[in-house]
Amino acid sequence: MTACPRNLSRPGKHLTELQAKIWEELGISVVDGRAAVARIPGSGQASSAVATSSLPALKQAFAAATDAVYLQCLEDRRPEVLQKEGRMSRSVVLEFLDACNVKMDTAEVQEKLRRKIQETGALPETVANEVHDEVMELLGFESAYGHSCFAEFGTSQEFAHDKDVATAYARWRGHSSEIMFKLLYDHWHSGGALHVDAVVKHQMMKHGAKVQLNQMSTDERRQLLESSIDKVSVFHKLPHDGRQRYLERLDDQEMLEFTKAEILVATLVQSRHHPHRTE
């Protein structure tokens, strides 16, 4: 592969534009094409019919190849001197958020996250912070200075009125948390010890709750909803410290069941607010 041009301001955006061009060449609208790919389940989530096809594996290979090209492009453009003064541009902020998301998806980083969880029984935040430092330097900023610039941008009026950056920031926060909580749940589910408070455990259980809900019949979900809706409603009316005390009284299985009920209630509320919305 040829080196990525240094004057290419947003490699990730450029790759997205290339994909859009291919959809157009195939005579398929970009929206329809992306929606079709999004509907292909992950290799571990496919139904028996889909799992026997090559689609999940092809989707996974496509995502891995795209991520590898993107990260290599950033590496090709790595500045020789790290910036320790000056303002961080909007473009760099967006690139930082995108690059962190991609790095967190790599097998190398996820293995580091797993090892840290096995060592500590807690969220692997130190590993996530190391990823942030690596990306800052990949984009040409000395890590400590880059983070101060990033924080300064986050409190600026520019950030407050920039919907694209705000959306990218929310996606970054959510993606990182989702990965760490999933890996923490997998550790617990396989018998690993946890050293976290009730609030963290509650967040972690959401991953397992979603998996188990997908395996339940409609009647089983209905029964759980009917038996738990009042309890969930009372819980969410409690002040923060009251909710924390309630969670601390639950054992692991009780917390998992309660979290499943929370998700069902939230889904019910959402369906009432958006009656014509489909998943």
185-200 tens-digit pLDDT: 999 999 999 999 999 9
**pLDDT tens-digit profile, the chain (279 residues):** 555 666 666 777 778 888 888 888 899 988 888 888 888 876 555 444 444 568 888 888 888 888 888 899 899 889 889 999 988 888 999 999 999 999 999 999 999 999 999 999 999 999 999 999 999 999 999 999 999 998 888 788 777 788 999 999 999 999 999 999 999 999 999 999 999 999 999 999 999 999 999 999 999 999 999 999 999 999 999 999 999 999 999 999 999 999 999 999 999 888 776 655 544
Give CA angle at 112 (70, 88), nearest 5°.
Answer: 45
Regarding whether 164 and 242 lie in a shared domain, the answer is no
Q: Does residue 218 form part of some domain?
A: yes
Residue 263 and residue 213 in contact, taking contact as beta carbons nearer than 8 Å:
yes
Residue 62 and residue 22 in contact, taking contact as beta carbons nearer than 8 Å:
no
Q: How many domains does the chain have?
A: 2
Give CA angle at 199 (195, 202), nearest 5°.
Answer: 90
Domain end marker among 151, 174, 195 = 195
Regarding whether 91 and 190 lie in a shared domain, the answer is yes
Position 178, amino acid: E
Regarding whether 214 and 149 lie in a shared domain, the answer is no
- CA-CA distances (angstroms) from residue 260 to 178, 181, 227, 254? 17, 16, 12, 10
Q: Does residue 60 form part of some domain?
A: no
How far apart CA 45 and CA 59 sit, in angstroms, is 13
**65-107 pLDDT tens trace:** 888 888 998 998 898 899 999 888 889 999 999 999 999 999 9
Regarding whether 190 and 100 lie in a shared domain, the answer is yes
Phi, psi dihedrals of residue 277, rounded to the nearest 5°: -80, 135
Q: Which domain holds residue 249?
A: 197-279
Regarding whether 269 and 233 lie in a shared domain, the answer is yes
Residue entry with tokens 């389940």: 41
